Structure 1
Amino acid sequence: MQSTSATTLYERLGSHDGITRITRELIKNHLNNPLVNIRYQNVENMDRVEQRVVEFFCAGAGGPETYSGQDMLATHRGMNVSEQEFITVIDDAMSALETCGIDTPTRNEVLAILWSLKGEVIRV
């Protein structure tokens, strides 16, 4: 993957194609993770979920894509996501980034962004 000398996080994640690859790995991790897979077992349209996650990561990383989903608070309201689930999802994301060859400084930047969302996800 690209070094941190690229100008944006979006570029360092591989732009749209790289973020799509990371998202697919992330979803695979979630589906294989017994701590969170129940949240995904009844999803009727996983392609739509993947599309929204790609949009979210692309837009949040500085790409030109527009995020068309709900904000994080609205998305997670009523789900009663626990601290353990939140950390597990972040662990799955970090694993996906590593599997896709994203360097440590870039992974740490993504980690900081994801961690900053905890108040919009945990027990809302």
Structure 2
Amino acid sequence: MKKSLTSIVLLLIITHIIGAQTLPSVPKTLFERLGGTSGITAIVDDVFEAHMINPARSARFKPYRDQPERLPKIRQHTIDFFSAGSGGPANYKGRDMSDTHQGMNISAADYMHAVDDIMEVLEKHSIDDASKKDVLAILWSLKEAIMSK
């Protein structure tokens, strides 16, 4: 009986080791690569700050400093939008990008300044190059919905 139990335990250990070595690894989502909710929250906070101090962007963000009660809602919408769009569990309940940016007359230069700020923040957070490229692809896909509305 003791030999049988030892054999079963040994067989289970070998099976586990072999199985662990042959299972394909599941790639992480962009959400996970950006640090999940806490990572994305930190990135969004830093992007807002970067926009506020960037002379090319600050005029659009100055109202949030003058009306700080508006910032938490916009911040949360941005976190949820970015989280949901990167494969996270968030449920974005804000407006679509065209409606959100309606009347802002965002030029190509404005958009590129925003993208530059975001990419610099990703660099600051030591986000890997593949993830930065994925974020850039998302930003590029939103360009038409955001610009000149």
Name structure 2 gaps, 5 residues minimum: 1-25
Structure number with greater Rg is 2
Structure number having the greater helix percentage: 2
Tell me the TM-score normalised to structure 2 length.
Answer: 0.78
Instruction: Report the CA distance between 1:47 and its aligned residue.
Output: 1.6
Deviation for aligned residue 1:121 = 0.8
What's the CA shift string for 1:14-70, capped at 9, x where partnerless? 000000010111011000101111111113311222111101110000101111111
Give the aligned length.
Answer: 120
- 2:10 corresponds to 1:16: no
Structure-2 residue corresponding to 1:100: 125
Cα RMSD between the aligned structures? Answer: 1.1
Q: Equivalent residue for 2:94?
A: 69
Structure 1 stretches of 4+ with a deviation exceeding 4 A read none
Structure 1, unmatched stretches of 5+, are none
Percent sequence identity over matched residues? 40
CA offset at residue 6 of structure 1?
4.2
Distance in 1, Cα, partners of 2:86 & 2:113: 21
Counterpart of 1:52 in structure 2 is 77
